[in-house]
A and B are shown apart, each in its own frame.
Chain A
């Protein structure tokens, strides 16, 4: 009953000072909009980073033979049945790709470089960055394709171009050195991935033939939803007995740490923006309480208890935050719609690439982020009302009686 009264008084008092509170709503809305947009941009960068890490041949989950990560070579390959399908529910599986990945040396007429030679089935690489990269020349046609694609930067360093031949030297399954000439089918531009200088791709069967093996060195699995990685990893561990089944966080702990740190950045942004707002809200609420000293004193004199007085101030604060927050979230929603095609950061593309970011950033607003902003705003509203409410409870009925 008292809560209803407190709500009624709070609501009417907000309407009573329309202009002042309208300014406050606008400030809250702008702060929520700013928080949402910064959160969305950072979230977009976080997803971009995750996409980059997972797409850089890692996948959400990867299977290796024991010891491969410390000493990668075809000796630490494993056999994969020709009819193998990952034991993963189809709705969770985006795709999977078997590969051979071994260190090798590449030689042009003028230069020599150490590289990672990767044998792939091009049609299975829809799960990796290879599906998205721009290729000058041609892509590989299938697992039996005997040509290669190399990064543009590597081609520049080797002073070669599409159509020319390069020689690759590597160690076969018997430990002996193998070498073979490959014609360059195409060069790829993997913006921001840092793979261009090191990764050279050819058909899986071609590389198996070169190394004299039927094994693969890895199976990369990509899921539709990242959070399911742990449960599906557990399923695969049971299937690949004796092999190492690792998720992307285990394979790339540095990126995983950065991914988690990004979560913190999101909340740091939020608390800075909303924290600044809180001072304004506290100030306005204290002014509102001071203006109503007589009213609060009278309410106390008539028998209203302190709890209801506190409730009135808290509700007033929370209502201001709620209206502003709803308006801010609606603005944020439409802003995100306006940024659906991404935010072009082309001017800073080179610098961003060094941070693993792409030139076009797609802001992402998750429902749980919206909910978090809403709940935290309400919490801020309660927090902001603490001092004004305390002030209101200090007002004595005698102040009202003195008129």
Chain B
């Protein structure tokens, strides 16, 4: 369980905002081994979301190298990146981003459908994912009929149902109260500890950071601190 899942060297990303270049990342080096649980933190504009997006194949660096599970992302086309995200990455978004017209079960199932998994297997695996997060009772409900915490748990079920090599959570607690945040982070920690799920969260929330075993702090597009948390 010690293979390198993410390897980034000299990542630079510059955005043009009204003709003014904004350096979101300035030569960031970052690597992540399998089964690690890392939090990226830092103030707004520090580059944590940019780094998360580049690791997740949602954005491209201007300079540097990024590899995911041994595969370099820069040469991949948009379509190849989409396929890679589908196969290897689970996403948990700040705003849950469930499909409003699908039930909880269908929201988890559809990612398997995109992978081409057959109907019976899909239903079984989606049902199991929901069950493992204590959501069996809610499987027929649509997002609008669930609380924020329940929706975020469904989003986690959707993220893990494909057994991804990496789970990315961008501000997962932003819309949740403390109690629900705690439940959610317990869930992620449990996934990391029992299933060896590799997790990166980007957060401002100290409570979320506290669950990670390694904390990477960014400031002004550079890694200010990278430390392993000991119990």
Contacts and interface: CB of A to CB of B under 8 A. Distances in A.
B170 A401 contact: yes
Contacts of B97: 294-295, 298, 400
B86 interface: yes
A16, A300, A301: most-surrounded residue (chain B CB, <10 A): A301
Contacts of A298: 93, 97, 99
Interface stretch (B31-39, B67-75, B110-118, B133-141): B110-118
A302 B58 contact: no
Nearest to B79: A305
B191 interface: no
A305 B82 contact: yes
Nearest to B86: A303
Given A2-B114, A401-B93, A403-B93, A302 B86 contact: yes
The main secondary structure of chain A at its interface with chain B is helix
A304 B114 contact: yes
B93 A303 contact: no
A9 interface: yes
Interface size, B (range): 20 to 34
Contacts of A1: 113-114, 116
Contact of A304 (B56, B82, B101): B82
A5 to B, nearest CB: 5
A403 B94 CA distance: 6
Interface string B60-78: 0000000000000000001
B43 interface: no
Nearest to B99: A295
A398 interface: yes
B23 interface: no
B58 A397 contact: yes
A12 interface: yes
Contact of A294 (B58, B78, B95, B106): B95
B138 to A, nearest CB: 18
A9 B210 CA distance: 39
Interface residues of A, number: 28
Contact of B87 (A295, A299, A303, A397): A303
Nearest to A1: B116
A254 interface: no
B59 interface: yes
A362 B113 CA distance: 53
Nearest to B174: A403
Contact of B100 (A5, A295, A302, A308): A295
A306 interface: yes
A303 B111 contact: yes
B192 interface: no
B53 A5 contact: no
Nearest to A305: B82
A301 B85 contact: yes
A16 B142 CA distance: 12
Interface in A263-314: 294-295, 298-306, 308
Given A302-B114, A303-B83, A16 B100 contact: yes
B82 A398 contact: no
A301 B79 contact: no
B187 interface: no
Instruction: State the 9 A-B residue pairs at the shortest beta-carbon distance, nearest first.
Output: A303-B86, A12-B101, A298-B97, A403-B94, A403-B95, A303-B85, A397-B58, A5-B113, A1-B116
9 contacts: A9-B101, A12-B101, A12-B102, A294-B95, A302-B114, A303-B84, A303-B114, A304-B82, A397-B58
Interface of B: 49, 53, 56, 58-59, 78-79, 82-87, 91, 93-95, 97, 99-102, 106, 110-111, 113-114, 116, 158, 170-171, 174
